[in-house]
Structure 1
């Protein structure tokens, strides 16, 4: 098994070498570094970039040189990838950057809706029920737009809002069917993501009901631990291996690698 979604010190994870060594120790066949990147010109996103360092567009060449050196010593495949924040307003800028950078593959993700990060529960706790439902609708609208853009090989954690208690459980099978239909008509594949699987929340992306809908539409899936530290890779990889066996799934590579 390969892990196509980990982070490094080039965004919000730990050092590259330690992550590669942990992937080797977990007996993975490959590991893909998909550090966060945002190319939006708007003030809030500029703030996010400066505070969190989600600026791989400025550092990818330096990271690439480091990855090339690590490949010389690594016993597994090491991939040079990116996780891009998606907003429909940024499609042209994203396209230009991806064409310029030439990553092995690109992951797209939706983290923000209506100026709010869908993982931050405090931003939704005091909102009325109807407004929370509207946020969920907008999240899936944006996810479908991400898929239809054909900019990305992989759609990350396709029900990210399940991590957030005020939004959890509000998605419907109609939401899931819209996404599944879009994926069935796209080269983009969703991932089975273990980023919160071994926490108290026990959230696997996509949720069981969502995964059932994806299977009904014959949508293939790929795999990512979404690890940010070396100590996370082994346990999450083992979990995902068991998960795929339990569901009878055979993960595919991101399309750009096929």
Structure 2
């Protein structure tokens, strides 16, 4: 078992060394640091970068030196990766940055639709059903565009809006089939993400119905605990180990590592 999606203090996670030690203790063969990054230069993304400090485009070389030092005294593989916010308007900037930085692999994520973070329930509580359905349509439109861009090795938490009560359960099989077909035609691999699997809502990405559609399209999946703190890694690794055993899936390796 290798975990291709954890975060460090270079975005919103804990220290590199602490995360590696937790991955070692959990029995992982490898762990990949995929810190958040946004290269959009529009006013709102720029403001969010200032508030949250997701500036890996400015700090990745320093983080890389830290990863290299940790590799020298670790028995597991440590990967130098990135999780990038995707917006079709930013494709040239994303492509340029990824080409320059030359990460081991790149994860693409859709967190935002029409200026609303899909994980923040309050953005959608006062919307009508039709407005919420439009947000869901927009999310999957953007997810398909992410896959078709061929910029990323992994597509993260491919039904992220299931974390958000006002949007949960609104995705349809047609949404899932659009994504599954795009992935089947692409080098991009979706992940099984355990970031909310052990929370009260017990959300696993992709959902059971979405995973069934992906399997019908013979789509491989990779593994991500989406851990931000060392204490999260062991329980999420145990969960994912059981999940893959129960489903009979074999975890795939990102294209960037083949």
Instruction: Give the TM-score of the pair, scaled to structure 1.
Output: 1.00
Deviant stretches of 4+, over 3 Å: none
1:168 matches 2:168: yes
Once the two structures are superposed, residues 164-184 of structure 1 have per-residue CA deviations (whole angstroms, 9 ceiling, x without a partner) of 000000000000000000000
Rounded to whole Å, the distance in 2 between the matches of 1:47 and 1:237 is: 34
Question: 1:79-111 deviations in whole A, cap 9, x for unaligned?
Answer: 000000000000000000000000000000000
Q: Say which SS state the counterpart of residue 165 (structure 2) adopts.
A: coil
In structure 1, the partner of 2:135 is 135
When structure 1 is superposed on structure 2, of 101-110 and 46-55 the one drifting more is 46-55
2:14: which partner in 1?
Answer: 14
Cross-structure match for 1:58: 58
Q: 2:5: which partner in 1?
A: 5
Aligned to 2:36: 36
Which residue of 2 is the match for residue 70 of structure 1? 70
Cα distance, 1:53 vs. partner? 1.1
* Map 1:1-258 → 2, pairs under 5 A: 1-258=1-258
Give, in angstroms, the shift of residue 32 of structure 1. 0.0
Consecutive unaligned residues of structure 1, counting only runs of 5 or more, are: none
**1:38 Cα shift?**
0.1
Cα distance, 1:186 vs structure 2: 0.2
Deviations 1:118-163 (A, max 9, x none): 0000000001110000000000000000000000000000000000
Distance (Å, rounded) in 2 between the aligned partners of 1:254 and 1:224: 11
Separation in 2 of the partners of 1:233 and 1:255? 24
- Cα deviation per residue 1:189-239 (whole Å; 9 max; x = unaligned)? 000000000000100000000000000000000000000000000100010
Give the secondary-structure state (helix, strand or coil) at the position aligned to 1:230.
coil
1:65-88, CA deviations, whole angstroms, 9 ceiling, x for partnerless residues? 000000001110000000000000
Q: Structure 2: which 5+ residue stretches go unaligned?
A: none
Paired residues in the alignment total 258
CA distance, structure 1, for counterparts of residue 53 and residue 194 of structure 2: 23
- Quick one: distance in 2 between partners of 1:246 and 1:62? 40
**RMSD value, Cα:** 0.3
Q: Secondary structure at the match of 1:96?
A: helix
